[in-house]
Amino acid sequence: MLEKVAEIIKDARRGVVLTGAGISAESGVPTFRGQDGLWKQYRPEELATMEAFRTEPQLVWEWYNWRRGLIRQVEPNPGHHALVDLAAHFDDFALVTQNVDGLHRQAGSKLVLELHGNIMRSKCVECQRLYESEEDIDPGNIPACPECGGKIRPDVVWFGEMLPADVIREAFEKSEQADVFFSIGTSAIVHPAASLPMTAKRAGAILVEINPERTPLSELADFCFCEKSGFLLPSLLAVLESSTRA
Ligand code: BV8
Ligand code: ZN
Q: Residue 4 Cα, ligand 1 centroid: separation in angstroms?
A: 30
Res 136: pLDDT:
80
User: What backbone torsions phi and psi does residue 105 show, to the nearest 5 degrees?
Assistant: -65, -40
Point out the residues of the chain with pLDDT beneath 50: none
Q: Which of 47, 113, 159 to mutate to test the pocket of ligand 1 (most atoms within 8 A of CB)?
A: 159
Q: Is 166 exposed, middle or buried (0-12, 13-18, 19+ CB in 10 A)?
A: exposed
Q: Which ligand is nearest to the CA of 211?
A: 1
pLDDT value, residue 87:
98
Rounded distance, CA 244 to CA 56, Å? 55
**Residue 209 β-bridge partners:** 183, 224
What's residue 59's pLDDT?
96
SS3 185: coil
| Centre of ligand 2 from the C-alpha of residue 47, in Å | 22
pLDDT at position 36 is 74
Indicate which residues carry an active-site annotation: 116
Would the CB of 118 count as within 6 Å of ligand 1? no
∠ at Cα 172 (166, 176), nearest 5°? 145
Closest CA to 5 of 245, 232, 168: 232
pLDDT at 37: 77
Q: Ligand nearest 24 Cα, by number?
A: 1
Domains of the chain, each with CATH number or no CATH: 2-28+76-116+163-245 (3.40.50.1220), 35-73+123-156 (3.30.1600.10)
pLDDT score of 28: 95
Contacts by 49-55, CB closer than 8 A, 24 or more apart: 49/158, 49/159, 49/160, 50/125, 50/158, 50/160, 50/161, 51/160, 53/125, 53/151, 53/153, 53/158
Residue 7 phi, psi dihedral angles, 5° rounding: -60, -45
What is the structure's pLDDT at 137? 86
Q: What is the pLDDT of residue 245?
A: 76
pLDDT tens digit string along 62-107?
A: 999 999 999 999 999 999 999 999 999 999 999 999 999 999 999 9
Nearest atom (ligand 1) to Cα of 188: 57
Q: Which of 190, 209, 228, 229 to mutate to test the pocket of ligand 1 (most atoms within 8 A of CB)?
A: 190
For the CA atoms of 147, 150, 156, 162, the dihedral, rounded to the nearest 10 degrees, stands at: -100
Q: How far, in Å, from the CA of 191 to the mean position of ligand 1? A: 7
